[in-house]
Every structure is written in C-alpha cells, then in structure tokens.
Amino acid sequence: MLLAIPFPNIDPVLVSFGPFAVRWYALAYIAGLVLGWRLMRRVARKPPFDIDAEAIDDFLVWAIIGVILGGRIGYVLFYNLPYYADHPLKALQIWQGGMSFHGGFLGVVIAGLIFCRRRGIEPLKLGDLMACAAPIGLFFGRIANFINGELFGRVTDVSWGVVFPHGGPEPRHPSQLYEAALEGIVLFMVLNLLRRSPAIRERRGFLTGAFIAGYALSRMTVELFRQPDAQIGFLSLGSTMGQWLSLPMLLVGLFFMLRARRAS
C-alpha cells in the first residue's frame, strides 16, 4: 500500500430539513456567484469599465441562468449524450450532479451578449469585468468537487495522494485541488494584477482573452493528472475530453489578446 492522505470524509450535505437538503456543491455555486457579483459591482464604475453598478445587479440573474442551463446542457451533450438520449427526463435532474464548465461558460457568454444588446453595453467591457471575477466561482466549485469526492485524479505514488471513497483503494492525485489553485487562485491573482496595469486595462478584450486562455492552459495541464470520466475514458493519443474542449478556448483567448494589443 502506498503512502496516502486519508480522505476527509465530509458529508456532501451540510444540513437537511426533511426532504430539503443544503449541499456544499450548491453553496459553492452561490458563494462564487455572490462574491463574483460583489467584486464586479465594486470595480464596475472604475475605468476602463464605466458600467453602472445597477446593471451588474441585473446581470447577476442572467449569469445564474446561463451557468445552470449552459452547464447542464454542456454536460449532457459533451460527456454523456447516449445515456441522456435514452433517459431524457434524467437531464432535468440537476440535483443528481453533472455540470460542465465549458457549457456553463458558453451559457454565460450567450446570456452576456443578449444582456449587453438589451442594455446598450459594449460586450467586451462586461467580458473584461467578468474575467476578473470568474476565478472566484471556479475556486469554490473545485473545492466542492473535492468535498464530494468526485472528479478525482489518476493513481499516483506522490506523498500527498488521497484515497477517495469512490476511487478504489489506491491513492490518487487530488486534481480538484490542483484546479482550485490554478483556475481559481493563480488565475484570479494574474487577472486582477493585469486589471491594475494602465497599459493592459485600456486594451479592450485583453482581460477576456487572458481569462479564456488562462483557464484553457490550466485545465489542459490538470487533465494530465485527472482521471477521465468513466463513460468516456481516454481519447486519441491519451488525450481527454477536457483537453479537446479547452483547445478551442485557448485559440479564442489568444485571438482576443492579440486583437487587443493590435487595437491599442
């Protein structure tokens, strides 16, 4: 038996009242959305954003809808379409798990574009603002994945390997914590340092591109340690679905960054 850290067996349900249960995963979504909204509201009036704080209040509802619908539809389409094609009503049971970041990202993009058109806001202004806050939600989401003992990593012999309840007897990479660190803490620090740089913040769309490319690089890196979804497994050349979905994000992010530099 390899050395391993015991899994902190935290109940995924924080508290329950009869049939009603408050889960850590739901709280992670709420914390990410609320804290991200507060950050966006605090800096919205500052250059280069110049967005009315009340518009940010209104957009929170749009963001919630985009995250939930996009995340669920993305999971159904990208990760388990044959199963949900046979059990279509199961796709509505969000409380049983199954959300995709890539789908949630597209959902928020679509919601943001519609919102900006209705409110007369330049989309890249809102995009740059959202980019600075989005890593907060990613951080809490990955911590919730760890608490749930899901989306764990591959078998490892590193001293910080964790034996997960549903991962068999062998220690595995705590890949959820790797993602929380890269997609959450590191990306948040980088983007908000860039936001404070006069040379960067005037380049409309640069922060948007930096977030998209930064997430893609972080996800593609952590996928080297993360166990692929059982129903999909490894794809060609040992790649994973997460890496393939992140590749176009990387290209789009680099495009926005280069476009912003040339336009400045």
Alpha carbon of residue 172 to chain centroid: 22
Region of poorest pLDDT, from 2-6, 131-135, 140-144, 193-197:
2-6
Mean pLDDT across the stretch 85-101? 83
Residue 1: per-residue pLDDT = 47
* Distance separating alpha carbons of residues 224 and 219, to the nearest angstrom: 9
Tokens 């997430």 belong to: 215
Residue 95: per-residue pLDDT = 65
- Neighbouring residues of 256: CB distance < 8 A, sequence distance ≥ 6: 205, 206, 208, 209, 212
Mean pLDDT across the stretch 197-206? 89
Res. 217 pLDDT band, cuts 50 70 90:
very high
Mean pLDDT across the stretch 128-141? 96
Q: Mean pLDDT for the chain?
A: 92
Residue 3: per-residue pLDDT = 64
Q: Where are the domains of the chain?
A: 14-263
* Residue 9: half-sphere exposure toward Cβ, Cα within 13 Å: 4
- The string of pLDDT tens digits covering residues 242-263 is 999 999 999 999 999 999 988 7
- The string of pLDDT tens digits covering residues 21-49 is 788 888 998 999 999 999 999 999 888 89
Residue 26: per-residue pLDDT = 86
Q: What is the pTM (predicted TM-score) of this model?
A: 0.91
- The string of pLDDT tens digits covering residues 229-238 is 888 999 999 9
- The string of pLDDT tens digits covering residues 104-121 is 999 999 999 999 999 999
State whether residue 148 is helix, strand or coil. Answer: helix
